C-alpha cells in the first residue's frame, strides 16, 4: 500500500505549492491516485496555516477530498504540535463530527495510548507513529498494539542500529 502525505507539519510559507485549503488538498489527493497512492495522509490547517485538530476544518477537508476522490481512504495527524496538551487532543477527537478513515498517533507523545483508544472506540483506524526506540517499546507493550491498522516509521535521522534491531525483532 502506498500512502501519500500531501503536506505534513509545514507552513504555507515553506513552499508555494503546499496544499493547505480543502480544495488544494482534494486536488492533490486526485493527483496522487493516478501514480498509485491508495491512501492519503494529510495535515488539516487553520487559517494561519498551522496544524489543527478542530472539527470544522477537518470536516471541510474530508468533504472536499471525498467528493473529489470517492472511496480514497484519508488519514490525518493527531500530532502533539497541533494540540500539546493530551486533554486538548482528546477533546478535539471527541468533537469530530466527520471522521477520517485513520489517524496517526505518535507513540512518543504524552497521551498517545488514550488518543489511540478514543480513535479506535470511534471507529477510526490508528496508524502508530514510531520515532524512537522508547516509542517502539511503548507501542509493543500497549494493549492496543494488535488493534493498530499499520505502523508509520518516522526516521528523520535514520533509525540507528538499536531501533533497527528492535523493529526486526518486532514486539
- Residue 165 in this model has a pLDDT that exceeds 90: no
Provide the pLDDT for residue 161: 67
Q: Is 157 exposed, middle or buried (0-12, 13-18, 19+ CB in 10 A)?
A: exposed
pLDDT tens by residue, 107-143: 999 999 999 999 999 999 999 999 888 899 999 999 9
- Residue 75 in this model has a pLDDT that exceeds 90: yes
Please provide the average confidence, as pLDDT, over all residues in the chain: 90
Average pLDDT score over residue span 2-14: 79
Cα-flanking dihedrals φ and ψ of residue 146, to 5°? -80, -10
pLDDT tens by residue, 15-66: 878 888 999 999 999 999 988 889 999 999 998 888 999 999 999 999 999 9
Q: Domain 3-169: which topology?
A: TIM Barrel (3.20.20)
Q: How confident is the model at residue 3 (pLDDT cuts 50, 70, 90)?
A: confident
91: DSSP letter: H
- Residue 154 in this model has a pLDDT that exceeds 80: no
Cα-flanking dihedrals φ and ψ of residue 70, to 5°? -55, 140
Amino acid at each position: 500500500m502506498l500512502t501519500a502525505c500531501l503536506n505534513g507539519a509545514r507552513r504555507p510559507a515553506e513552499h508555494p505549492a503546499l496544499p493547505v485549503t480543502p480544495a488544494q488538498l482534494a486536488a492533490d489527493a486526485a493527483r496522487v491516485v493516478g501514480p498509485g497512492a491508495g491512501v492519503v495522509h494529510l495535515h488539516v490547517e487553520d487559517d494561519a496555516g498551522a496544524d489543527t485538530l478542530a472539527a470544522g476544518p477537518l470536516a471541510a477537508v474530508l468533504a472536499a477530498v471525498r467528493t473529489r476522490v470517492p472511496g480514497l481512504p484519508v488519514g490525518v495527524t493527531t500530532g502533539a504540535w497541533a494540540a500539546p496538551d493530551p486533554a486538548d487532543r482528546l477533546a478535539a477527537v471527541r468533537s469530530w463530527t466527520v471522521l477520517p478513515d485513520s489517524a496517526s498517533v505518535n507513540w512518543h507523545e504524552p497521551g498517545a495510548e488514550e488518543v489511540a483508544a478514543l480513535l479506535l472506540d470511534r471507529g477510526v483506524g490508528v496508524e502508530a507513529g514510531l520515532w524512537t526506540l522508547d516509542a517502539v517499546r511503548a507501542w509493543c507493550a500497549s494493549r492496543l498494539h494488535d488493534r493498530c491498522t499499520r505502523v508509520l516509521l518516522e526516521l528523520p535521522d535514520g533509525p540507528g542500529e538499536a531501533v533497527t534491531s528492535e523493529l526486526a525483532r518486532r514486539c
